[in-house]
Structure 1
């Protein structure tokens, strides 16, 4: 799976032979599309996504070009799950978060269990690394948060700010975080 920031540009790059296989570095070629699915948005609406598939000209492996605003194997957009993580970092419990987001309690509880221990530290490292690559000065301004999840989200927010400063493009924060984490916001690295 390859997480892409701009689906239209990824399509252009795919047809131009500019995308490479993550396994063998051979050229990826258009192949078909993955199954269409509905992704729930923060406002309660649904957005249809049908990710492009590509096949490697070398090893023949297939890849799905997943838009960064949605996460692999999740029915909710990154911004929905991100809102739950922010609420948890602020001290809310999973029941109240589920109520606010209009999601099942079990779903929210599962999301929050997916960001504990090593996963939280991995998220923090991704944020620090991206911030360091884009604007090292922002690392000085990181403040220690009350929780490890808060620290991780603060580092990711700094990376978003650094990216926006450098590229001056209006991209949603959770979409960028989807790129920074390669779609692994909840799953183990």
Structure 2
């Protein structure tokens, strides 16, 4: 309740808030759901309405591919908070696709350093180092979140064995939760574990709060 009152205070003061909402990568599906009133505001639960588009951005995909994204924007019909609808294949404030970052984190879980990972992925060492540092900082919170998700998704959940580091533990449980989700919903097999992870945790794989955009 206090958080909601603070949002109304910011709006009243003319400081419009913008949040990120991770959605399906199928833009046509998202548009249909948005116009049908099927998307709701996470803070207050009211219906989201169309509200233009975010700025176009280029995201680096796997094997050097370039993804051009222009996220849809929406606005809550009740609390007036604006949401950028970001497709699950990308994460907030990242120039690389979720699958690319996830591949780097999987390699890091095997014990390789950022220089080796950067060379394998063809990316700057500093970029990879930033991913790893942020994920290490978030690893325990991510591990807990996806452990709960695994228990909720699997009929007979099998917890991954303890790994060499908290980062590796977090990577393992994300993979296990994705497998459980794919068994429950076969269509999830077409979604990468890292797109699944980003959508499940609201884009907060590398950041602890919902970022602005």
Structure 2 length-normalised TM:
0.83
Q: Which position in structure 2 is the counterpart of 1:83?
A: 103
Deviation at 1:141, TM superposition (A): 4.5
Q: 2:56 aligns with which of 32, 36, 43?
A: 36
Runs of 4+ more than 3 Å apart:
none
Conserved in 2, the CA contact under 8 Å of 1:70 and 1:77?
A: yes
SS in 2 for 1:3: strand
Give, in whole Å, the separation in 1 of the partners of 2:108 and 2:155: 28
Conserved in 1, the CA contact under 8 Å of 2:25 and 2:89?
A: no
The CA deviation string for residues 99-141 of structure 1, in whole angstroms up to 9 with x for no partner, is: 1111111111111110124x10111112111111110423x25
Moved more, 7-16 or 119-128: 7-16
Q: 2:147 aligns with which of 128, 140, 147?
A: 128
Q: Which position in structure 2 is the counterpart of 1:23?
A: 43
Q: Return 5+ residue gaps in structure 2 as ranges.
A: 1-19
Q: Return 5+ residue gaps in structure 1 as ranges.
A: none
Q: CA RMSD in A?
A: 1.3
Give, in whole Å, the separation in 1 of the partners of 2:56 and 2:99: 20
Conserved in 2, the CA contact under 8 Å of 1:84 and 1:108?
A: yes
Residues 1-189 of structure 1: pairs in structure 2 closer than 5 A: 1-7=20-26, 8-117=28-137, 119-138=138-157, 140-169=158-187, 170-189=190-209
Aligned positions, number: 187
SS in 1 for 2:146: helix
Give, in whole Å, the separation in 2 of the partners of 1:6 and 1:105: 28
Structure 1 length-normalised TM:
0.93
SS in 2 for 1:137: coil
Give, in whole Å, the separation in 2 of the partners of 1:31 and 1:188: 26
Give, in whole Å, the separation in 1 of the partners of 2:121 and 2:88: 21
